[in-house]
Amino acid sequence: MGHDELDAALAGLDWERQGDVLVKVVRRDDFAGALALVNAVGELAEAADHHPDIDIRWNTVTLRLTTHSAGGLTAKDLALAAEIDGLLEQGIA
């Protein structure tokens, strides 16, 4: 994926790029809310067969997407990032 193509895709996403990783931090009211979010993201991840790194700190979930096997960001990361944004925009988790 070229730089321009990647930049264009990123512009439509609510994720921060840190080098070869897309990062998204989501806060919920409490641990139960955070865990519900993780399970919803997990369903999308399983369906995509692509899994973000997930850190849970009580009510705060940090998601990190990259494609280790490709050594950088790929279309799989962008697609799953967009799906997760959709999940959150719909208020599903």
Does position 27 bind a copy of itself by CB under 8 A?
A: no
Does position 57 bind a copy of itself by CB under 8 A?
A: yes
User: Which one, of 63, 66, 93, lies nearest residue 78 by Cα?
Assistant: 66
Task: Give the separation between CA 5 and CA 50, rounded to whole angstroms.
Answer: 21
Long-range contacts at 3-9 (CB < 8 A, ≥ 24 apart)? 6/73, 6/78, 9/78
Rule CB under 8 A: choose which of 46, 70, 72, 75 binds a copy of itself: 46
Smallest separation, CB 50 to a copy of itself (Å): 10
Q: Applying CB under 8 A, which residues contact a copy of itself?
A: 31-32, 35, 38-39, 42, 45-46, 51, 53-58
